[in-house]
Structure 1
Amino acid sequence: MAIELQAVEKLAADQASLKAAAGLARPGKWSGVGASHDAALIWGECAGSGANPYRVMADLRDLGNKCTCPSRKFPCKHVLALLWLRAEAVVPFPGGETPDWVSDWLGRRRPSGTSARPPAESAPAAEKDLAAARRAEPAAAEDPKAAARREAASAKRAEDTHQAILDALGALEQWVSDQLRLGLGGFIEDATSRCRRIGARLVDGKAAALAGHVDELPARVLALPAGDRIRGATVELARLVMLSRAYRAYRASPTDPEIRRAVAAAEAREALLADGAALRVSSTWEVLGERVRTRRDGLVSQTGWLLNLGESGPRFAMLLDFFPAGTGRRGSVFTPGEQFEGELAFYPARHPLRVIPCAPCWCSGALRPPMTRPSDGR
């Protein structure tokens, strides 16, 4: 069952709703998109400002709809975006069993479809235009003083963040010195609690990526044979000091994004995709292998290695995804051995490796969605 864009246009309460929906009608905003076997019902989850996504559903037979967002507009921008995705086939709507939350709504809604009612007749109909909703509004003239204040505040926040990281790194180097002074035998026996304390200090100092490395340190050391643990602990502590010293050098001349990524956090997906200087490679890729590992911080890391079968760009690439361990085992985005066509964006590095898909990728005849990223930016 299909829906026309004109129907989405008529359903919108006003032009502002259409404009907001245009910004949400993108694959990266949605997860769990699907349709009933008869294609009459569609649903999906749209990322919002809260921790949990909004659940959005619609009945294409009468355009009845529901969203869990608190918007007072009906239908809200999330419903319009879901219908827009369907009308333009922006993402696939695979047929499957109707989720319980959609079935509950369907059982409670009135069969007359009055939930899709148009705006009241007493109010004059506002002009609505899909084409206008797609267009970016011209930027308003900006107050130079306000812009200067905003830039100064941004620079101040960046400076405060850098200083917090430097203070945390100073505490880390002192902590490493203490472990060496007290003896690595005692450190190995109490590695978990000691690393947890300094890891919390690093998180407070905005060095979250390095804190994750410290949190995993005991598991790496204790996984070694007993006779190799002293040597392993020495190597691990030396690596922490090297990263700390490298960041101080980076701080003086911030030209190496890999150092900041290893200490603070990776660039957000949106920032990388918006970076015009980022390396992008369109090619045929073969999935070489996959590794799934549960981390001590409650996240599961899912890593996939890719081989570039084209003639340009880096030879290898790495997809890295994180998701909460409590959500259960997640199916692989790609299966080792299969091939797909797609454009990948590489994170800036001296030897680029980590990537994110720029758009859904065609793989073995099926459309695969881009891998998701956690809210902490890793």
Structure 2
Amino acid sequence: MIERWNRDQVLALAPDAPSRKAAQGVSSPGKWSGAGATAEAVWGECKGSGATPYRACVDLSEPAYRCNCPSRKFPCKHALGLLLLWSADAVPAAEEPADWVGEWLDQRRARAEKTATPEGSKAKAVPDPRRAEQREQRVSAGLAELELWLADQVRQGIAGSRRHDHWDGLVKRLVDAQAPGVAGTVSRLGDVLAGEDWPARLLGEYSLLHLLAVAHRRMAAAQPYGAGHESEHGDGLVRTVRDRIGFPVAKEEVLAGQRVRDVWDVLGRRDAEQDRLVTRRVWLRGRNTGRAAVVLSHAPVGQALDASLVTGVGLDAELAFYPGATPLRALVAARHDGAVPALPPAGHAPREALGEVARALAGDPWLDSWPVVLGEVTPMTARAGTGSWLLGRPDGALPLHPSAGTPWRLVAVSGGRPLTVAAEWTPQGLLPLTTWDDQGRVIVL
């Protein structure tokens, strides 16, 4: 039996603010007919502007959505409105799904079974050694140029870096060198200029880029591309360096590796847009293993992102982690049926959370985010008049990210009482994701 989600959890599934507003407009019982819910699905027909109502249904085990409305947003307002109705316990229970819903669920099961069999999977592509070696050579040349460019910046001084187009030429050359990960890092350097401490932050970013370039050069010198290449790539640090440079890892390779089964608490998610592409990070924490994980999805602006991981839900699943010195990114390899009680995750003291981040950074110095769960913390101002906020308790505190502003929602839920708060750690401070009220209900921040 899937535990009923609350209003906050449903609205967190919306692709944007207009969708949240529109969903609330179609969430009243009078808008729906033929609605019903079982342990695995909820469905109904919503009256629209046409003569025929729209049919919407949601597979609660994923979740997955279906609606015959013309909306390009996913989930659409009708699926969200239906879920809001269900969250308010206003959808009657049914023994069996409606015929059209059962047909859709059967089709989904058939596709899942076909994908899980070897006959349903795509044949593994055989890499071309010549092309792979050519890429290695291009990347090495591009990173060698990056080392020289960084040395010039330090020698000449960074005063000329105040222009946001200062790095455009370097970005293009790194793209041509087939090092997209490094190119992406350089393209975001202009964001550093917004802060008063930009010189220190910019030098820090330059240092990390230099460290990456030197690490690749030394690894390539120790074992050039060729014989034994695959075996050395099993080393976590080598895989981390190559991942940061932008060498891809096939999903098939990840799924073929070791899997970790646990009850994974979905701590929250954050969407970020760059170059007309939206990246969604969904943060998870293993209830038994204590492992951190992030599941990524990407989509062009205006198109649907993966909404299958619901904030605040416990998921009995197997995760397959991408290789690296500090494995964090993962794929959901398999889900298991069965009721999982929704519980607030175990919180840690700020000092313990910071120690975990430090251990992660020791394996991956280029890490820029990590999920933390703080227990018994209260939002408080750092110093009167500064506008800076902390999450703390008597034995320590961690600052919030400047972009978090005044965390009014968190302050309102707290009311001066300690809370459990899930947040995304970044070098500039914490970005709050979720908290839990006195009844254990999740509040999306």
Structure having the higher Rg = 1
Q: 2:405 maps to which residue?
A: none
Distance in 2, matches of 1:298 and 1:177, equals 32
Query: Using a 3 Å threshold, how does the CA distance of structure 1 residues 239 and 337 change in structure 2: closer, same or farther?
Result: same
Find 1:317's aligned residue among 274, 290, 293. 293
Find 1:301's aligned residue among 256, 272, 279. 279
Distance in 1, matches of 2:316 and 2:330, equals 14
Equivalent positions of 1:117-156 (< 5 A) are 154-156=128-130
Q: 1:173 maps to which residue?
A: 147
Q: 1:343 maps to which residue?
A: 318
Q: 1:246 maps to which residue?
A: 215
Distance in 2, matches of 1:201 and 1:272, equals 30
Distance in 2, matches of 1:243 and 1:357, equals 29
Higher helix share: 1
Q: 1:291 maps to which residue?
A: 270
Query: Using a 3 Å threshold, how does the CA distance of structure 1 residues 257 and 97 change in structure 2: closer, same or farther?
Result: same
Find 1:213's aligned residue among 171, 185, 193. 185
Q: Does 1:196 align with 2:168?
A: yes
Query: Using a 3 Å threshold, how does the CA distance of structure 1 residues 360 and 246 change in structure 2: closer, same or farther?
Result: same
Distance in 2, matches of 1:310 and 1:100, equals 40
Q: 1:356 maps to which residue?
A: 331
Q: 2:56 maps to which residue?
A: none
CA RMSD of aligned residues (A): 3.3
Tell me, yes or no, if the aligned pair for 1:338 and 1:363 is still in contact at 8 Å: no
Query: Using a 3 Å threshold, how does the CA distance of structure 1 residues 358 and 183 change in structure 2: closer, same or farther?
Result: same
Distance in 2, matches of 1:135 and 1:244, equals 40
Q: 1:236 maps to which residue?
A: 205
Tell me, yes or no, if the aligned pair for 1:286 and 1:337 is still in contact at 8 Å: yes
Per-residue CA distance 1:110-158 (angstroms, 9 max, x = gap): xxxxxxxxxxxxxxxxxxxxx9xx7869xxxxxxxxxxxx99x932222
Q: CA deviation at 1:179?
A: 2.0
Letter in 1 for 2:179: A
Per-residue CA distance 1:4-45 (angstroms, 9 max, x = gap): xxxxxxxxxxxxxxxxxxxxxxxxxxxxxxxxx99xxxxxxx
Q: 1:268 maps to which residue?
A: 250
| Percent identity over paired residues | 30
Distance in 1, matches of 2:193 and 2:286, equals 36
Query: Using a 3 Å threshold, how does the CA distance of structure 1 residues 98 and 169 change in structure 2: closer, same or farther?
Result: same
Per-residue CA distance 1:231-275 (angstroms, 9 max, x = gap): 1111111111100011112323443211100002331223322x3
Distance in 2, matches of 1:95 and 1:158, equals 42
Distance in 1, matches of 2:268 and 2:148, equals 40
Structure 2 unaligned residues grouped into runs of 5+: 1-32, 35-61, 73-113, 224-231, 341-445
SS of alignment partner, residue 188 of structure 2: helix
Tell me, yes or no, if the aligned pair for 1:250 and 1:259 is still in contact at 8 Å: no
Higher strand share: 2
Tell me, yes or no, if the aligned pair for 1:279 and 1:347 is still in contact at 8 Å: no
Q: 1:327 maps to which residue?
A: 303
Query: Using a 3 Å threshold, how does the CA distance of structure 1 residues 260 and 335 change in structure 2: closer, same or farther?
Result: same
Distance in 1, matches of 2:337 and 2:159, equals 53
